[in-house]
Amino acid sequence: MNNQRELDVSYGKSGEEITKNVIEKYFNMEFNKTNDFHNMDFHNSNNNIYIEVKSRRIKKNKYKSVYFSLSKYKFIKSNPKNKYYFVYNFIDGFYIFEYDEKKIFFSIGGRSDRGINEYYKLCNIPTKYLIKI
C-alpha cells in the first residue's frame, strides 16, 4: 500500500469513530461496527439499519455528486428488507442520505493520484439530496 493510500485509510477509520457518535445521537440508538470486510460500516440489528460512512477532506458542495462503490449497491440490492443510509463527514459538517434508488445514478469515476488507476463504475448521490445532521 502506498503512503497516500495508507493516509486515506487512516483518515477514513478515524472518521468512522467520530461519526459513530453523531449517527447514534441522530437515530437515538446504538450501532455496532461491522467487520473490515463488510460492505457497510455500522449496523443496528433491532431495526435492520445499515450505515456507510464516507469521510472526505472537502466541503459538501465541491462536486455535484458524491459516490459509493458498486459493491455496496449490489449488497443493498441483495438485501432489500433493510434500511440503508450514507453519512458523509465533510470538512463543513455531517450529511446523511437515506438510500433511494430513484435518486442515484451511475458513472465511471475514481482517481489516479495514488500511483495506480482506481477508476471504476460508481454509484453517485447528487449532493442536493444530502441532509445536514
Residue 4 main-chain phi, psi, to 5 deg: -65, -40
Rounded to an integer, the average pLDDT of 96-119 is: 86
Closest residue by Cα to residue 89 from 9, 14, 19, 3: 19
Q: Is the pLDDT of residue 17 over 90?
A: no
Task: Find the domain containing 84 and state its range.
Answer: 3-132
Q: How many structural domains is the chain composed of?
A: 1
SS3 (DSSP) at 127:
helix
Domain CATH code at residue 45: 3.40.1350
- Bridge pairing between strands 105-111 and 118-126: antiparallel
Q: Is the pLDDT of residue 11 over 50?
A: no
Strand partners, 55: 89
Q: Is the pLDDT of residue 7 over 70?
A: no
Across all residues in the chain, what is the average pLDDT? 89
How far is Cα of residue 118 from the mean position of the Cα atoms in its chain? 17
pLDDT band at 15 (very low <50, low <70, confident <90, very high): low
